[in-house]
Each structure stands twice: as C-alpha cells, then as structure tokens.
Amino acid sequence: MQRMRPSVAATRRLSAVALTASLALLGACSTMGEDDPPETTPEGSPAPERVVLVTHDSFALPKKLIRAFEAEHGLTLEVRASGDAGTLTNKLVLTQDNPTGDVAFGIDNTFASRAVEADVFAALDVQPPSGAERFVLPGATNDDGDPVLAPVDQANVCVNVDDTWFEREGLAPPETLEDLADPAYEGLFVTPGATTSSPGMAFLLATIAEYGEEWPDYWERLLANGVKITDGWSDAYQVDFTQGGGKGDRPIVLSYDSSPAFTVDGDQTTTSALLDTCFAQVEYAGVLSGAENPDGAQQVVQWLLDEDVQAALPTSMYVFPVDSGVELPEDWARFAEQPSDPATVDPEEITERRDEWLREWSDLITR
C-alpha cells in the first residue's frame, strides 16, 4: 500500500551508518588462530549493531526519535523502502527464506493475511499500548498460536468533498457511495485505481462490502457517471481535486478521514470526509522469520508502539495511533472525525478473492 496522505509525504530513506573502523591485525606472536577482535567506532567503543527495517515508501518519523532509539538500544537503524504495501508484501513473501531485513512495518489489513500464510513473520514478544487490541488482525498467529503482527496505526479511506465548491455552486454534497452514481454529481469524482493504489484498493473493497456480489453493477454506474481514475492518490488529490495543490476541477476525491485536518483555513476546514463511505485500514509491524538480528527487530516493534512514536504518527505519517491514550493534535481533535462503523471485508476473503476482484475491476474500466 502506498501510503499517500493528505500532504505528500516525501520518501525518507535512512541509510545505515557506515562502519569505518578497520579490523585489528592479529599479533605476530599469535599462533592459536584467535578470533578477530570486534569492530570499533573511531572513538574506540564497540560499533552499534545494525537492525534493518523494511517498510513502504511513505515511512517517515522525526529524526530525533530515531536517534533516541539508536542511543537507548545501542543499535543503528537502517530503513529500506520497498514501494507501496502491496509491493512490500510481495517482496516479503518472495524473500521469506532469505529476508532482506529484520523487521517489517507497513503491511495493512488488505494484504497482511497473505504474508501470515506464507510464514513471513516470527513470534512477537512486545507489550501493546492501551486500546491496540481493537485493531489486532484475526488469525495473525503462528502454528503455536503466538501473535506475529502488532497493530501500529490506523486510519480510514473515505470519499472527501470540497465544501467551499458545493456551497458556491449551491449544490448539496453527496453523502453515500450510492450518491456518487447520481447524475447530479456527474464528472465530479476522482479516485485512484484499485490496481495501482492502496487507497484505490480500499475503495474497491468498500464497494464490495456495500454491494456484495453486485459491486460490478455499481462500478458500471459509477463509470457511466464520469468518475475519473488515476494511478495514485497524489494525482487524484493534488492535481484533480479542487482543494488540492493544483487547479483541479473535481470537488469529490478519494482520500482519508484525516484529510480535513490538513485543509484548515482560519478556524474552519474547507473539506469534509463522508463517513458513510469509509473503509478501515490498519498497518502492522512484525519480526521477519530468519532475521539476522531478531532481538533488535523485537525492539523496533516495541519502539513503534511506544508513546513518543505513537504521538508522532499524526503529523509525520498522517495516521491515527492505536494507543488510545495518546492526545491528538488540536486540528485532528477538531476536524479529523473517524467513522463509527467503517466498512470491512474479512481478511481471509480478501486473500482468496483479491486477484479475482482486481481482474474483474480492470476489465470493467478498460471496456
């Protein structure tokens, strides 16, 4: 899942600190085949142990939090971005026997069951924060029943509207998925595609949750009503949406429930999330099976659940924390309203039918 958010988050890759100290030469008098001495920093102290975090392209946390984690645990954190959540999942499954890192973050509930079935993750030993139990993925355990994924953040993909545009035009904004197919809103909606975007996939799942096996009929009506489909969230929101960064002409866009917190003008927000159109998303972290540094990986997962990181999630990655005790930023508390009953689809059904649904969706939009 490419975690595009209401503000374009630049991809941040944190390179590992290079180990520059040379191995000490064996003494000439050494005749017993002694082991090489450990590497040292220029100051002469043991070099930090490396732990590799594999994640999606939109991972971003304040550098001061990363430095504090490294100092506390004597670790160097290397972050390897691996595309969106779908690409990340595919890579983790394909490299299950020879993982490219120690710990993974960013697989969401639309993809996680596939990775769990492929035994990508090892057993976890972390202390979850208060309230996180609400977001635990059913079935995310190993053969012994041990949990393998920890929920880290949550948000909802929702249709958003430009309130100022609708007020200016004297048109009541839509409220439901069904409204989007109404001729009154012809040519006004833009959404990223399901095959190229995580939010787009979530929107497809929202329509499947709402219409069941009749979802293709709904999409035919939506297409007939002039919906525009883009490759990704940034194209839809920043280019085509009237409240985006460009000169868009579409006042209805697929985005997030947090988006209105980023369109505040004075004392009000200029956009609204339609809470009857939302699909729940949760992102998880887990220790990779076969990790070179499993202890460090466990510490990374625990760090992502700690209060300081949880409190940084809204402003750094534009998602809600799973820690119910974390105080949200003021604009979030006022304008980022979450749905009380977002749409969901059983993770096992997603795993079984994802490819089928995407093929059918692709056939519909290319007719």
User: For the segment 61-86, what is each residue's pLDDT rounded down to a tens digit?
Assistant: 999 999 999 999 999 999 999 877 77
In-domain check, residue 37:
no
**What would the mean pLDDT of 329-337 be, rounded to a whole number?**
93
> Do residue 80 and residue 222 come from a single domain?
no
pLDDT the model gives residue 43: 55
In-domain check, residue 357:
yes
pLDDT digits (tens, 9 = 90+) for 232-283: 888 999 999 999 987 899 999 999 999 999 999 989 999 999 999 999 999 9
pLDDT band (50, 70, 90) for residue 44: low
> Do residue 71 and residue 58 come from a single domain?
yes
In-domain check, residue 361:
yes
> Do residue 229 and residue 266 come from a single domain?
yes
Rg for the chain, CA atoms, rounded: 23
**CATH at residue 270:** 3.40.190.10
pLDDT band (50, 70, 90) for residue 301: very high
> Do residue 99 and residue 119 come from a single domain?
yes
**What would the mean pLDDT of 198-217 be, rounded to a whole number?**
95
pLDDT at 344 over 60: yes
Query: Distances from the Cα of 335 to the Cαs of 87, 132, 162, 194, in angstroms?
Result: 32, 23, 14, 27
> Do residue 350 and residue 234 come from a single domain?
yes
**What would the mean pLDDT of 337-350 be, rounded to a whole number?**
92
pLDDT the model gives residue 33: 37
> Do residue 130 and residue 198 come from a single domain?
no
Report how far residue 45's alpha carbon sits from residue 106's, in angstroms, rounded to the nearest whole number: 34
Residue 20's φ and ψ, nearest 5 degrees, are: -100, -15
For residue 212, count other CB atoms closer than 10 A to its CB: 9
pLDDT the model gives residue 197: 81
pLDDT digits (tens, 9 = 90+) for 11-24: 333 333 332 333 23
pLDDT at 105 over 80: yes
In-domain check, residue 256:
yes
Angle subtended at Cα 49 by Cα 46 and Cα 52, rounded to the nearest 5 degrees: 160
> Do residue 73 and residue 210 come from a single domain?
no
> Do residue 185 and residue 288 come from a single domain?
no
Q: How many domains does the chain have?
A: 2
For the chain, give the percent of residues with pLDDT over 70: 87
> CB under 8 Å to 150, separation ≥6 — which residues?
124, 126, 128, 132, 284, 285, 286, 301, 304, 305
In-domain check, residue 7:
no
For 300, the token pair is 């990374």
pTM: 0.79
Residue 353's φ and ψ, nearest 5 degrees, are: -120, 0
pLDDT the model gives residue 237: 94
> Do residue 331 and residue 345 come from a single domain?
no
Report how far residue 151's alpha carbon sits from residue 136's, in angstroms, rounded to the nearest whole number: 6
In-domain check, residue 87:
yes
> Do residue 219 and residue 290 come from a single domain?
no
Highest mean pLDDT among 135-139, 158-162, 316-320, 353-357: 158-162
Angle subtended at Cα 140 by Cα 137 and Cα 146, rounded to the nearest 5 degrees: 130
> Do residue 192 and residue 265 come from a single domain?
yes
Report how far residue 149's alpha carbon sits from residue 139's, in angstroms, rounded to the nearest whole number: 10
Residue 337's φ and ψ, nearest 5 degrees, are: -80, 135
> Do residue 202 and residue 350 come from a single domain?
yes
Residue whose pair of structure tokens reads 């007719």 in the numeric block: 367
In-domain check, residue 118:
yes
Range of the domain at 313: 49-154+281-335
In-domain check, residue 161:
yes
For 51, the token pair is 């732990």
